[in-house]
Amino acid sequence: MAASHFSVMVKELSQVFVAGPPVTRALGEDVTKEELGGWEIQARNGTVDNVVDTEADAFEATRRFLSYLPDSVHELPPVTPPTDDPNRREESLLSIVPTDGKTAYMPRKIINAAVDKDSFFEIGSQWGRGIVCGLARIDGRPVGILAGDPFFLDGAWTADVCDKVTRHMDLCSMFHLPVIHFVDCPGFACGVRHETAGVTRSGVRAMAAVYQASVPVCAVVIRKAFGLAGSAMFNPSKAKWRYCWPSGNWGSLPMAGGIEAAYRKELLEAEDPDALLKSLYKKFDEIQSPFRTAESFYAEEIIDPRDTRPLLVDFVHHAWRTLEPGVRTTGYRP
């Protein structure tokens, strides 16, 4: 099950484990099948992708997952007749991202506003929750979806988020699905807990998975894009596109913590470190603007958020011309 492209469990009915209760009991753990390998364990650690309430729901989830994929890697994904206006502009996107740069917002609302109505199928919602993954259609064409979720550690890439990115990018590459990445990432998660979990190795693997992807990726920078994780927003393919919202905020390090690191010596030597730190924050806050980046040609285009869907429709049509069926090979993966 863990080796499959997609897996689903039924709550209170199915379990997954490497050995059952009789074996664990002999080892000193007296637990039930549900306590050992029920959905609350396996869906939250990423062993299983999705969880449903009934067996009928499991079959429906499976049918829906397969509907986005070709019959084999030797074919392209199935294109269905468009059911949504390709030029639809959602007014709600103008105000969906809070202007303070800190308050969380609902990334799934952005996804649903940009893709064909009712076409988003989420995968792995119970684990790696700093990023939303799934499949959708744009003008009838299947695509993969990534979107940072600021509700969970501000969208920082933890070890499990990195594993989730790696798995999803490999799935999309294998079945020739262009990827739409709604970027909001403050960087890799920092601290002893995350280093203990192996965020460094998992992070490098996730970056490699993005860069090795054989399908076009379109990045839409919604808010934050900092550090190495923030830079891993798309691959160097010939159909590499990037759009940025005016709410975008990016750089090597976020100001919070970054200024302290960059000016550590000056702050240590200052007579009034607090006053100096406050003046530095004021100075950099005044020059912080995505439009400065665009003027220096480091961002291709800053767009009206309402234009996101029409531009993604354009991207997907261009991306489709570059797709090539066949077996995908992957280079060295750290």
Tokens at residue 60, please?
């429906």
Residue 263: the pLDDT is 85
Average pLDDT, the chain: 92
Given this model, what pLDDT does residue 286 score?
59
More confident residue, 246 or 262: 246
Q: Does residue 252 have a pLDDT over 70?
A: no
Q: With a cut of 90, say whether residue 276 has pLDDT above it.
A: no
CA 14 to chain CA centroid, nearest Å:
28
Model confidence at 271: pLDDT above 80: yes
Q: How confident is the model at residue 77 (pLDDT cuts 50, 70, 90)?
A: very high
- Residue 155: its pLDDT value, please? 96
Model confidence over 154-190: pLDDT tens digits?
999 999 999 999 999 999 999 999 999 999 999 999 9
**46 backbone φψ class: left, alpha, beta (φ>0; ψ -120 to 50):** left
Structure tokens at 241: 């596109």
Name the helix (H) or strand (E) containing 255. Answer: helix 255-262
**What does the radius of gyration of the chain's CA atoms come to, in whole angstroms?**
22
- Give the model confidence (pLDDT) of 85-125 as tens digits: 999 999 999 999 998 888 999 999 999 999 999 999 999 99
Contact yes or no for 309/113 (Cβ under 8 A): yes
How many percent of the chain have pLDDT more than 90?
Answer: 78
Give the model's confidence band at 250: pLDDT under 50 very low, under 70 low, under 90 confident, else very high. confident
Number of helical H runs and strand E runs in the chain: 14, 9
The domains of the chain, with CATH numbers, are 1-67 (no CATH), 72-320 (3.90.226.10)
* pLDDT digits 0-9 by tens, 221-237: 999 998 899 999 999 87
pLDDT at position 249, please? 84
In this predicted structure, what is the pLDDT of residue 273? 86
At 287 the pLDDT is 60
Res. 81: pLDDT tops 90: yes
Determine which helix (DSSP H) or strand (DSSP E) holds 309, and give its type and residue range: helix 308-320
Nearest CA to 121 out of 100, 142, 102, 95 is that of 142
Per-residue pLDDT tens over the stretch 195-220: 999 999 999 999 999 999 999 999 99
Count the Cβ atoms, other than its own, within 10 Å of residue 88.
15
Higher-pLDDT residue of 43, 263? 43
pLDDT of residue 294: 73
45 confidence band (pLDDT: 50, 70, 90) = very high
What pLDDT is recorded for position 312? 97
Q: What is the mean pLDDT of residues 319-334?
A: 91
Residue 269: the pLDDT is 87
- 189 neighbors 215 (Cβ within 8 angstroms): no
DSSP string, 63-120: HHHHHTS-SSTTSPPPP----S-TT---GGGGTSS-TTS-S---HHHHHHHHSSTT--
